[in-house]
Structure 1
Amino acid sequence: MRGALVRPLRDRRLWIGVAVVAAVLVIGVVAFRRPLAQWLWPDTRIQQLLAQGERALAQGRLSAADGSGARESFEAALALDSDRGEAGDGLARTGLAALAQGKRALARGDVPGARNALTLAQALQVPRAQSDALALDLRRHEAARAGLDDLVTQARHAHDEGRLEGAPDSALPLYQRVLALAPNRLDALEGREDALSDLLQAAHAELARGDLAAAAAKVEAARGYDPGHVDLPASEAALNEAVQQRLRRFDTRLRQGRLAQADADLETLADLRPAYPEVARGSEQLAAAYAAEAARRAGDFQFDAADDALARARAWSPEAPGVRAAAQAIASAHQAQASQRQALSPAARAKKLRQLLARIETAEARQQWLTPPGESAYDALREAQSLAPRDARVREAAARLVPQTQSCFEDALRANRVRGAQSCLDAWQALSVRDAGLADARRRLAQRWIAVGSERLGAGDAAFASEAVRQARRLDSAAPELADFQARVRAAEGRDR
C-alpha cells in the first residue's frame, strides 16, 4: 500500500505539472498586481491619484490631454470617492493656480495662454469676481493690440461699398469686433447704427419685391446685432404685414385650386413662421386639397400625377382628412385598370359584374365602406365602374353608397360613436371627394371628438383624450375649443407621469 502511494510522488510528470501551475500563478500575480491591488485596496489608488495631482500642481501642469494633469488626477480621485475632501480641495487650488498662470501669461504677452488658463479657471468654478477681473484684463490687452482704429476704418470702407453683413470683413461684423473689445467706443456705435439702418432699408426693398425670406433674414440679422435699434420695430411690423398678405394670397390660390402656387406660398410661410396656427391650418387644408387631386387623377388612371399629388399631401400633413382615402383610391384604380386589361368574354364579364355587385351589397350590409382593402364597398364599386361604367346597376350602387355613408356618419355622430363616425366620414370622402358637405362634417366631428374627449378625460381616461386631440387637430386644427382641450390633456398627462 505504501509503495502505491509513494510511486505517484516520484513521478516526474507530476512535479513538472506542479511547476507549470506555480509559474503561471507567479506570472499572473506579477502581471496583474496593480489591478488586484486597486481592487483589494482602493484607498491606495486614491492616494496615488492625490499624490500625482499634487506633483502636477507643483510642476505647473494644471491640465493635460493624457490625463496626467492636476485637474484630471484630482477629478479621478473624486470619482472614486466623492466624499474625499482632499480631491475637492485640490481642484479648488488648481483653479486658483490657473488664474495665477493666466495673469503671468498675460503679463508676458501670451494671449492664447492667458485665454486657455482663464477657461480652465472658469471650468473649475473659481470665484466669479476673480475670473471676471482676468477676463477684463484680457479684453483690454486684446483691444490694445487689435488695432481698433484700423478695424473701424475697414468697417467704414465696407459700409461705403455696400457690404453690410454676411462675411467677416463686412461692416457689421467688423463693428461688432470693435465693440466686443471696446463696448463704449462712440465711432463704432454710430457706425453700427448707420449700417443697421441701411440693412433694414434693404429689408424693406426685399419686401417690396416680394422676397419675404431675404427680408426676414436681414431683419433677423439686425435684431442679432442690436435688438434695440430705433428702426427695428417698424421693420418687424412691415414684415409681419407682408406675412399676413402672403397668408391671404395662399388662401385665395387654394380656393382657386392653384395648388402649385399655394404650395410655394405656404412653403415660404412655414420657413418664416413655423409656429403660426395659420400655417398649421394651411398645411391641413393644402394636404386635403392635394389628396382630393390625387383621388381625381387616380379616377382618370393618371397615376404619375396622382402619386405626385399624394406625396405632396403626405409632405404637408400625413394625417390630414382625405390622405388615407386618396391612397386607397389610387390602389383601387390600379386594381380597376388591371381588371380592365383582362380580356373577358361577355359571359365572363357579366359573371364578374354580378360578383362585384354582390360584394357591394355584402359590404354595405356590414358597413365595410373602406376596409378591408379589396373587400370594401368602395373597392368593389370602383372595380365595377371600370368593368361596366354605364351599367344601370353600377350607377344605382354608386348613387346609393354616398347617401349611406352620410347616414352612417350622422347616425354615429348622434350616438357619440366618434370612431365609427370617423370611418364613415373617410368612406364618404373617398366616394365623393368634392362633396360640399364634407367641410362642415369635418368641423362637426372635430367638435364631437373634443366633447367626448373632455368627458372621458374627466373620467380619468387620458389615453382616449390624447387620441381625441390628435383626431380633432387632423379634422379641424382651427377648432375654437381645441387649444384649451389640448392644454388640459397635457396637464393630465403631466400629472400621470
Structure 2
Amino acid sequence: MSAARPGADWRKQWRALPQRWRQLLLVLAASVLLAVLAALLFHNALGRWLWPDPRYDALRQRAELALQAGRLSAADGSGARELFEAALALQPDQLEAREGLERVAQAAMARADAQIRAGHTAQAQASLQLAQTLQAPLARINALQARLSEIPTRADSIELLLQRAQSALMQGHLDDGPDAALALYQQVLLRQPRNQRALDGREDALDALTQPAAKVLAGGDLAQIAALLQRVEAADPGHPVLPALHAGLTQAQTRRNQQLQRMLHHQQWEAAVQLCQPLSAVPGVPLPELCATGLDDALLHAANVAIAASRFDQARRLLELAEQAGVATDRRQQVQRSLQAASRIQPQRPQVVTMQGRAKVAKLLTQAQHAQARGHWLTPPGESAWDRLREARALAPNDPRVQHALQEMQLAAHTCHTTAMRDNNLGRARECLDAWRQLAPNEPALLSAQRRLAERWLAVGDERLRAGDVRGARTALERAQQVDADVPGSEALTHRLQRIGSALK
C-alpha cells in the first residue's frame, strides 16, 4: 500500500492545481516536445541556415564580381550565371543566389536592348536567349524580340546606309519617306550616335531643306510657310531657322485675316471662301481667325438677309458657299428650313389686298395674339402664334398692322427667353429662343443667347453627373448639343459619360 502512495500523492497534487495552470503546463510540455522533434527531423536544414557553407559565400562573391565585370555567362563556368547556379546548388534555401540570377537576367535584357539599337543582331539574340533561360519577364522579352525582328534581314551595314543616304541627298530626296536622306542618316545615328559622317550628312540635308526658307518667308504664303515649318520641326525641333518661320507664319496669318476682313466687308463671298478653303484642306495649317469662325457667321447671316428680302437664289448660293467653307450641317439646316418655308409662302403672296383679305389678316393677327398669350409660340403646327403671323404676312406683307405685330412678337419672344433663363426654366427658354429665331433670323444677339442656353444645359449635365444621375446628364448633354452643336465643353462631358458607360458594362 505504501509503494503506490507516491503516485497517488502526485495525482492528488496535480488535481489540486487550478485548471488554468494545468492547461498552461500541458501546452508548455507539448511545445518542448515539438521543438525536440523538429530539431531531430530538420537539424540539417537549420544548420545550413544558421551556419552557411563557406563554399557558398565564396561562389556568391565570385558571381557578384563577374556580374559587375559584365561576364554574364561563360562556358568555363566563370560567368555570373554559372557561379550563382553553383552557389544555389550548395545552399538551395539561401535567397541571395536566386536574386543574383534575377539580376543576371535583367543585365542580359539591358545588353540585348543596347545591341538591338546598335544593329548587332547575333549578339542581341544570344543575350535574349540567356534572359529567356533565366526566366526573365516574358512580356519584355517579347518586346525586345519584336524590335530585333524589325532589323532588316538584308543586314544593312552602316556603310551601305551611309551610301544610300548620300545618294538620296544628291537626288534631292530629303524627307519624303523611309528611303529619304534624313531618315537613312537617322538610322545610322540610332546605331552609332557619334558617327561623324552621319552627323555631317544630316546637317547637309537640313541645310538643303531650309534653303528655301528666306524665299518662302518673303513670299508670305501661309500654306508654304506652314508646310516648311512642319518639315523642319519633324527633322530637327531645335533648328535655328524655326523662330523665323514661326514669326513669318504669324505675320502671314495676320495678313490673311486682314484680307479676309476686307472681303467680308465688301460682301465678296466667293473670294472669301476661295481664300480659306485651300488652307483648311492642308493638315496642320493654322487658319486665320476669320476663316475659322467669322466666315461661317457672315455667310449664314447674309443668307438670312437674302431670305428676308425674298432673294432666294442668292440665299441658295450662299448656302452652297457655306457648305464649301465647311460650316456645320446643323447650322446650315436651320437656314435651309427658313429658306424652304419662305419659298413656299412667296408664290401665294397676292399683289393686291382685298377687303376680304384685310379682314382675314385682322382675324389671323388676333389668333396669333391669343396663341402667344397661351405660350403657343411654335406649336401646335398651323395654330401657333408664328404660323398665324406668317399667314397674315403672306397675305399682306406691307400692312402696318402686320409689321407692328411682327415687332411686338419679336420683342415678346426675346423677353420670354430672358425671363425663362432668369428663372432657370431651360425648356421654356429653348422654345422662346426658337420663336425669336423664326421672327428675327438676322438678330446679332441670337448667337450669344444660343451659346448661353447651351452652356446652361452643360452645367445641368455636369451637376447631374456629379450626383450620379447618368441618364439625366446624358439628356442635358443632348439638349445642349441641340441648341449649339459647337458649345465648348460638350466634348469633355461626352468623354466623361463614355468612360462611365464603359465602366458600368
The TM-score normalised by the length of structure 2 is: 0.56
* Shift in Å, 1:409: 0.6
Do the aligned residues in 1 keep the contact of 2:393 with 2:402 (CA within 8 Å)? yes
Aligned to 1:316: 327
In 1, the alpha carbon distance for the partners of 2:465 and 2:149 equals: 58
Q: For residues 83-127 of structure 1, what are the alpha-carbon distances to aligned partners after superposition, in whole Å with 9 as ceiling and x for unaligned?
A: xxxxxxxxxxxxxxxxxxxxxxx99xxxxxxxxxxxxxxxxx986
Contact kept in structure 1, 2:346 and 2:394, CA below 8 Å: yes
Q: For the Cα contact (< 8 Å) 1:167–1:173, is it kept in 2? A: yes
CA contact (8 A) 2:169 2:205 kept: no
Question: What is the aligned counterpart of 1:377 among 365, 369, 385?
Answer: 385
Please state how far the C-alpha of 1:362 moved relative to its aligned partner. 4.5
Indicate if the aligned counterparts of 2:222 and 2:249 stay in contact, CA closer than 8 A: no
- In structure 2, the residue matched to 1:221 is 231
Q: Could you report, residue by residue, the CA deviation over 1:467-496 in whole angstroms, capped at 9, with x for unpaired residues?
A: 5446657767997xx54x864664355234
* Structure 2 residue corresponding to 1:404, chosen from 383, 407, 412: 412
Are the counterparts in 2 of residues 325 and 429 from structure 1 also a CA contact under 8 Å? Answer: no
- CA distance change for structure 1 residues 174 and 282 in 2, over 3 Å: closer, same or farther? closer
- Within the alignment, does 1:491 sit opposite 2:492 as a pair? no
Query: How far is the alpha carbon of 1:426 from its aligned partner?
Result: 2.5
The aligned amino acid for 1:211 is D
The unaligned stretches of length 5 or more in structure 2 are: 1-120, 123-139
Task: State the match for 2:423 in structure 1.
Answer: 415
5+ unaligned residues in a row in structure 1: which ranges?
1-105, 108-124
Relative CO higher for 1 or 2, CA cutoff 8 Å, sep ≥ 6? 1
Q: Which moved more, 1:299-308 or 1:238-247?
A: 238-247
Cα distance in 1 between the residues matched to 2:341 and 2:334: 10
Residue 250 of structure 2 corresponds to residue 241 of structure 1: yes
Query: In the alignment, is the contact (CA less than 8 A) between 1:325 and 1:426 conserved in 2?
Result: no
Name the CA shift for 1:207/1:339 in 2 (closer, same or farther; >3 Å).
Answer: farther
Task: Tell me the alpha carbon deviations over residues 180-204 of structure 1, each in whole angstroms, 9 at most, x when there is no partner.
Answer: 4686554454233233234335356
SS in 1 for 2:171: helix
Report what 1:99 is aligned to: none
| Separation in structure 1 between the aligned mates of residue 410 and residue 203 of structure 2, nearest angstrom | 66
1:353 aligns with 2:366: no
1:68 aligns to what? none
Q: Tell me if the contact between 1:223 and 1:232 (Cα under 8 Å) persists in the aligned partners.
A: no
2:436 is aligned, of 428, 436, 440, to: 428
Give distance in 2, aligned partners of 1:284 and 1:236: 25
Q: 1:274 to 1:330 in 2, by over 3 A?
A: farther
Match in the other structure for 2:110: none
Which amino acid in structure 2 is aligned with residue 158 of structure 1? Answer: Q
Which of residues 342, 345, 348 is equivalent to 1:339?
348
- Aligned position for 1:462: 470
Give the one of 434, 454, 461 matched to 1:453.
461
Residue 131 of structure 1 deviates from its aligned partner by 7.4
Aligned to 1:292: 301
After superposition, residues 193-272 of structure 1 pair within 5 angstroms as 193-203=203-213, 205-224=215-234, 226-231=235-240, 233-234=242-243, 237-238=246-247, 241-242=250-251, 245=254, 248-249=257-258, 252=261, 256=265, 259-260=269-270, 262-264=272-274, 266-267=276-277, 270-271=280-281
CA 1:267/1:463 → structure 2, altered by over 3 Å: closer, same or farther? farther
Counterparts of 2:491 and 2:143, CA distance in 1: 44
- Deviation, structure 1 residue 286: 4.0
Task: Evaluate the alpha carbon distance shift between residue 287 and residue 131 of structure 1 in structure 2; reply closer, same or farther with a 3 A threshold.
Answer: closer
Identity %: 28
CA distance 1:177–1:156, change in 2 (3 Å): closer
Q: Distance in 2 between matches of 1:275 and 1:474?
A: 30
